[in-house]
Structures are given as structure tokens and as C-alpha cells.
Amino acid sequence: MTVVALLVGLDVGGRQGHARVTTGRTWLRSVAVLPLDNLSGDTTQDGFSDGMTTALITDLGRIRTVRVISKRSVMPFKTTALPARAIGESLHVDALLEGGVERVGDRFRVDLELLDAASGSQLWADRFEDATQNRFAVQDAAARGVLSALKLPVTATEARTLRTPPTSNLEAYDLFLRGKIRVRHETRADDSIAIALLQGAVALDPSFAVAHAWLARAYTLRVAQFAPRDSAALEGAFLATEKALQLDPDLAEAHFARANLLWGATKQFAHERAIQEDRRAVELSPNLDAAHHHLGLVYMHIGLLDKAVEELRKTLAIDPGDWMAQERIGQAELWQGRYEEGYRIVQKVPPEYNPPLWHADATWALIQLGRTQDASALIEHYLQDHPEDRGGLMTGLRAVVFAKQGDARRAETDIQSAAVKGKGFVHFHHTAYSIASAYALLRKPRAAVEWLRRTAENGLPCYPLFASDRNLDNIRNDPGFVSFQREQKAQWERYRAAL
């Protein structure tokens, strides 16, 4: 099924299993900037038109009163023939911005049209022609035209932000746009290319704050997902983050970059400080979907599940195509003991979007629903395709299945294997929790509590999960577990009061 079909077929308002999206009270209007056509007849100019699309999404996204759909979710509509109403309904917006870009030599032209998504009627249209070196002024004028047509207020600070170009170096800006696209792909090869491109951008313009922020993000991604022992990349992430904040203390992307460093990449999981940085990021830029998502992820891990779901729904309001946010709403249901609903949501997510996460969540749900044979089949299918089992997630869950079946020998073998596979893995706390669950099912409370403490101390102090999980029922009267839960509940209540 195509991405367009998935977006159109799955209603983000809650029908057909897609988690309900709420926009909160921040936004007054909503708009999707559809990919601008390259009218030049020259495919080498695709990057220029794509960059103009990115710029308009970014510029409009800095305005608090308008919800702007992320680029990832509008790209599937690049060549679609769907009418405005269908696109508007699938993205839950009330306006669409479309048009094209023609670049010839050192000049370019942009034709833009703002449509009412419900009726398809024109709300505004304009043509801009100028020298390429003045592209930022054109972007500013276009954004202001859209905001005026939508009758949205713009603060003095927002107006100043629109007028201020991110860099005076167009070559640096081109490298930045290309690097930003590569970061979003989240593969090892693309991340390496992104780092090189963004390094080039800041070398050409050392005062390019947002390029420093994205360079920090690329470095952090490398450490978190691809090369956890790369100390040079970790140092680069810290330096780039602080440089971005030094250049612009009110840059949302820089605060988000710092949040990523504080929670995850360094394996320290500084929950409260990361939340502060994420909150600052979304305060400065309410359309920064990645910061909403990250904030929701941190909330989940410390057991503030209602707050997590609220942020994840905001993520989906901006980026309806973010299946990871969708799945994490399912996770939140599972962690509160609502297994049928959680499994239903997880099933709606394409497994190929993130195979390790999807298989782990689906397997855990099946275990909780008593469908151990189905869980075992899913585990074996995954391990056949991914025998390395990075992080030991599925091996740990297989230990849980064996423990439920009373097979202590095979459970213990998988526990040891999962611990080895998970060594150095940033989110090993999930595997640690499976190990704790397996020991609880085997009625080994001392080992179970020891692994529960490792789980909580290394990033997952999720009291509601520990309180609701039936796999821990065998040890609930154990003094060590009672003491552990007393500590976890007190910490959770502090988080609820302070955050």
C-alpha cells in the first residue's frame, strides 16, 4: 500500500484504529505546504524547489497560531491527483499551499496559491520573481502573504524571525538543506553524509546557528544508533549544541538538540533537564514535531503516560505520517494494562517502519494477552531475519515466554544471551525489564528486583508499568519488591508534581 493510501485511509481522528489526534489550544489555523513543482524543465533544479518547500514549512512553522504539517507527511502528495478536500481531510488541515518554482541562471520565479481545503476555493495567490541571492526575502514575503490570507496574528518577535535570514551564505544554506534531509533518513550512511554536509555549512558560515543545531543532531544520532563508542562524535554533538545556543539562545532546534544529548545518547537519561529543554523547544516553535515526540518519549519512560500521549498526539497533528508516535501511543496503552487496545493500535502500524520496536511491542502484547504460541512464532520469525538481535530485545522476550512455560533452563540461557547482546545499547533498559520479568515468573525475587533496579536506574523508572504488569505478580509480596515499588511510587509522585 502506498504512503498516500495509508494517510488517506487511516483517519487521524480515531477511525480505523489510528490514534486520535488532538491539536490543543495553541493553533488557530492549520496549513499543509504541498511539495512545490520544479517548473524549470531541468531535474538538477529539483533541489532548489525542494529547498523552497522546506523553507516555507520552516518559516510558517515558527508562528505559534498556525499548525503546519511536517515535510515528511506532505511529500507523499508530491505527484498526487487527489482533490484539495481529500488531501485536507487526510492531513486534517483547513488550508493548502501549492505552486511551483522556476529557476533560470541567477534568477528564479515562485508561483503560489493558497486554497481552502474544504471547498478548493482560492484564498490567496501571488508570484514572486527575484535574483537567487534574494531567496530569503522572497521566502519572508511569501510566508507573510500566507499568514495575512489566513488572518493570523504575528508577534513582533515572529516578524523579526521571518525577516532574519538564517545565513548570508547561499552555498552554506544549500549544504544545510541537503544535510537536514539526510539526517531525517536515520540510516548510518545518510547520517555520515549529513555530518559532512553540515560540517561544510558551518565551515562556510560559522555563525549559522541552526546548521550547528542540526549538526549536533546528526552527531547525536550517530552515537545513539550507529556508533555508541564514537567519543569524537559525542564531543562534536556537545560542541555544536553549545555553539548553536551561544549564537541564538532562543533557537528551538538548539534546545531540542540539547534535550537529545541529556536523554539517550550519553546514557545518563537526565529526565527532568531533558524535559525542560524539550518544553523550551516547543514553546519557541510549537510545530517542531520531533521535540513533541521526544518530550512524549521522556514522559513515557518516567511513567507520566497521560502527558506522553498528549505530546504524541500533538506530534501526529503535525506529522500524521509519524508511525513511531502512533506506536508509542499503543505502548502507553500496554504499559497501563490495556492490552487489547494497545495491541490494536500497534497492529495498525506497518511493521517495516521500525522492525525491532514493532516486533517487541507486538510480542509483549501477545504475551500479556496469553497468546504465547503467537508470541513465540513472532519471536522466531524476527530472530531468523535478524539473528544479531541488536540490544537483545527479542531474546529477552523469548526468555519471558520460556519462563511463563516453566522452562527455567532455556529462560536462563536467553537471559544471559540478552545481557550480552544488550551491552552498550542505549535503550538496554527495555531488555533489562524483560530479564526482570522472566526472573519474576521463575519466582526468583532477588534477581528480579536486582534487574528492576537496573531498569529504573538506567532510563526506565516507569512506576505505572511496574504496578500493572501481571508478569510481576509472583513477587509482589516480596519485601525487596515492596521496598522498590515504594521508592518508585514516591519518585513518580514527585515527577507528577514537578513536571
E strand segments, 374-495: none
pLDDT of residue 26: 62
- With cell 544535510, the residue in question is 179
Q: Which residues of the chain have pLDDT under 70?
A: 1-26
Asked if 438 contacts 432 with a C-beta cutoff of 8 angstroms, the reply is: no
* Strands 95-104, 29-33: pairing kind: parallel
pLDDT of residue 228: 82
Concatenated DSSP letters of 240-291: HHHHHHHH-TT-HHHHHHHHHIIIIITS---HHHHHHHHHHHHHH-TT-HHH
pLDDT of residue 6: 41
Asked if 374 contacts 476 with a C-beta cutoff of 8 angstroms, the reply is: no
pLDDT of residue 44: 85
Q: Rounded distance, CA 337 to CA 119, Å?
A: 43
Q: Rounded distance, CA 146 to CA 95, Å?
A: 10
Pick the CATH number of 1-165 from 3.40.50.2300, 3.40.50.12780, 1.10.490.10, 3.40.50.10070: 3.40.50.10070
DSSP 475: G
pLDDT of residue 22: 47
Q: In sequence order, which ranges of 269-421 are alpha helices (DSSP H)?
A: 271-284, 289-301, 305-318, 323-335, 339-347, 355-368, 372-385, 393-404, 408-421
Q: Which fold has domain 166-248?
A: 1.25.40
At 172, list the grid cell. Answer: 552554506
166-248 and 332-498 agree in CATH topology: yes
Asked if 319 contacts 73 with a C-beta cutoff of 8 angstroms, the reply is: yes
- What is the model's pTM? 0.91
Q: Any residues with CB less than 8 A from the CB of 444 and at least 6 apart, and which?
A: none
Q: Where are the domains of the chain?
A: 1-165, 166-248, 332-498
Q: What is the pLDDT of residues 466-494, one digit of tens each?
A: 999 999 999 999 999 999 999 999 999 99
> Domain 332-498 classified CATH 3.40.5?
no
Q: Rounded distance, CA 230 to CA 158, Å?
A: 38
**Amino acid at residue number 96:** L
Measured distance between the N- and C-terminal CA atoms of the chain, rounded to whole angstroms: 41
